[in-house]
């Protein structure tokens, strides 16, 4: 014990307060003196006050957003061995049209996403070098997303 009746580490901490130190260092020093439970309750009280602040007014859904009526076709493309297939080309067209309107390439994880308008039926065609092309129908009249998993088969006699 020191001459003041305090433990040595406590007096060292009090001594630190006499010198200008950054506020975060003061909190660390105070944590040794003040009960951690009291410190925790002070931190929680501050976060509760911040959380109870009024939130900014929420925008009405579908109001003014250019993507309010979009539908996302998300596909993951694999080989027959279960490996991701990067660089696969996916094209999408409306079921009643001949021309493809949307196109995407799969990333290094074999994933891709294409945003189309809701309320129609679409046809997704996936092609990759050394693999048979695959076509899938997508109904975009209900919901806002379709998740597809495609397993590409290698061409006969070809090397994938």
pLDDT 10s digits, 37-78? 565 566 666 555 445 555 555 544 555 677 678 999 999 999
Give the model's pLDDT for residue 109.
95
Give the model's pLDDT for residue 13.
47
Q: Distances from the Cα of 1 to the Cαs of 16, 32, 90, 92, in angstroms? A: 18, 16, 76, 80
Domains and CATH numbers, the chain: 8-49 (no CATH), 70-152 (2.60.40.10)
DSSP labels, the chain: --TTSS-HHHHHHHHHHTS---HHHHHHHHHHHS-HHHHHHHHHHHHHHHHTSPPPPPPPTTSS-TTTTEEEEEEEEEETTS-B-TT-EEEEEETT-SS--EEEE--TTSEEEEEEESSSEEEEEEE-TTB--EEEEEE-SSSSEEEEEEEEPBPTT---
Distance CA 114, CA 137 (A): 14
Which positions ≥6 away from 62 have C-beta within 8 Å? 68, 69
Give the model's pLDDT for residue 42.
61
Burial state string for 128-157 with b = 16 or more CB within 10 A and e = fewer than 16 = beebeebebebebeeeeebebebebeeeee
Regions in the chain scoring below 70 on pLDDT: 1-64, 67, 158-160
Which positions ≥6 away from 67 have C-beta within 8 Å? 115
Confirm if 135 and 121 have CB atoms less than 8 A apart.
no
């Amino acid at each position: 014990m020191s001459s003041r009746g305090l433990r040595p580490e406590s007096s060292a901490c009090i001594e630190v307060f006499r010198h200008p130190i950054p506020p975060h260092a003061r909190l660390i020093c105070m944590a040794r003196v003040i009960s951690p439970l009291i410190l925790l309750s002070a931190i929680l009280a501050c976060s509760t006050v911040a959380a109870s602040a009024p939130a900014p007014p929420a925008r009405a859904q579908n109001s003014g957003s250019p993507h309010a009526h979009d539908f996302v076709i998300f596909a993951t493309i694999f080989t027959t061995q279960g490996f991701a297939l990067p660089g696969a080309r996916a094209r999408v067209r409306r079921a009643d049209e001949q021309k493809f309107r949307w196109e995407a390439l799969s990333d290094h994880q074999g994933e891709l996403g294409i945003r189309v308008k809701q309320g129609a039926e679409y046809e997704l065609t996936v092609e990759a070098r050394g693999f048979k092309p695959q076509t899938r129908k997508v109904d975009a009249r209900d919901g806002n997303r379709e998740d597809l998993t495609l397993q590409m088969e290698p061409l006969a006699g070809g090397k994938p």
